[in-house]
Amino acid sequence: MLETQGLGFRYRGGDWLFRGVDLTVAAGAVTCVMGPNGRGKTTLLRCLLGLLQPTEGTVHHDEPAAYVPQTTPGSFDFSVREMVLMGRARAISLFSQPRRRDIDKAEEALDRVGLRHLSDRSFPTLSGGERQLVLLARALCSGYRTLLLDEPAAALDLRNQGALLRICRELAADGYAVLMSTHHPDHAAWLADQAVLMHADRVVIGDARDLLCGDQLSELFALPVSTHLVSEGGGTRTLVAPHYEA
């Protein structure tokens, strides 16, 4: 669980990227942060992680949040297991090496994202989708229950997007507090309990079902967007349709 009060950030001499953000990332729920490029989604995440000092306001958390960055292959040829094991950095004292227990946790985390069979593969040779899931496993391996994901689905194909979204939903059902930034309103509509919309002049936070509507999204992306309710598997689901021709 993670909570902010009056959080605001601006670079020195710049305009406010966001201001007065009162956000609660609750356990058992998924929060989706949306906004156009450059609106400060990543900056907000960095403030939540404590990587950036906010200009004003405070961030409270009962334990560190685990971070899933956007994936890069890196220049070093680590195995998937070694990559996931790095999530244990806080749990292993400075001059010690990982123990059996840590390696077991890494294996469990890989199991959780369904990639245990890739443990011995070289991380840079995996596909973008697999690498993203490995980074998620690394976050899970830390043992912390607040997960912050930076556009995890950005470079994934549809099937991998599905895998990632399903895992995030399962994790929330298991009591994890999940926050992700995304450019896909559809993902937010399928997944989110809470939405954070980073408008140019304000940040709107609220129930995802209320906020993910045509008006809000059209304003947010400066593009006509309509939403459509379709029935699916006995329930209803919101589909988001951007109108690119406008």
Q: Which stretch binds other proteins (CB under 8 A): 17-25, 97-105, 175-183, 224-232?
A: 97-105
Residue 90 Cβ, how far from other proteins at the closest point, in Å?
4
72 binds other proteins per the rule CB under 8 A = yes
Residues in contact with other proteins, shown as a per-residue x/- string from 101 to 120 under the rule CB under 8 A: --xx--x--------xx-xx
> Under the criterion CB under 8 A, does residue 73 sit at the interface with other proteins?
yes
Q: How far is CA 59 from CA 68, 88, 99, 216, 229, in A?
A: 19, 23, 33, 27, 36
Query: From the list 1, 92, 155, 204, which residue makes contact with other proteins (rule: CB under 8 A)?
Result: 92
Non-local CB neighbours of 179 within 8 Å, separated by 6+ positions: 2, 25, 30, 31, 32, 33, 45, 48, 146, 147, 148, 149
Q: Does 222 bind other proteins (CB under 8 A)?
A: no
| Cα–Cα distance for residue pair 100/48, rounded to 1 Å | 32
Interface residue with other proteins among 37, 53, 97, 231 (CB under 8 A) is 97
Q: Which is nearer to other proteins, 95 or 244 (CB)?
A: 95
Checking phi first, is residue 43 left (phi over 0); if not, alpha (psi -120 to 50) or beta?
alpha
200 scored as a contact of other proteins (CB under 8 A): no
Q: Does 129 bind other proteins (CB under 8 A)?
A: no
Q: What is the largest CA-CA distance in the chain?
A: 59
What is the footprint of other proteins within residues 23-62 (CB under 8 A)?
46, 49, 51
Binding flag, residue 77, other proteins (CB under 8 A): yes
Please state the closest distance from residue 14 (CB atom) to other proteins, in A: 18
One residue of 5, 24, 55, 122 binding other proteins per CB under 8 A? 122
| Sheet of 194-198, strand order | 66-68, 146-150, 177-181, 30-34, 194-198, 203-207
Nearer to other proteins, 77 or 215 (CB): 77
φ/ψ (deg, to 5) at 239 = -105, 140
Query: Of 136, 194, 193, which is closest to residue 160 (Cα–Cα)?
Result: 136
Helices (H) and strands (E) in the chain, counts: 8, 12
User: How many residues lie near other proteins (CB under 8 A)?
Assistant: 41
Toward other proteins, which CB reaches closer, 94 or 158? Answer: 94
Q: If phi over 0 gives left and psi between -120 and 50 gives alpha, with beta otherwise, what is residue 114? A: left
- Residues in touch with other proteins (CB under 8 A): 46, 49, 51, 64, 66-67, 69, 72-79, 81-82, 86-87, 89-90, 92, 94-98, 100, 103-104, 107, 116-117, 119-122, 124-125, 138, 142
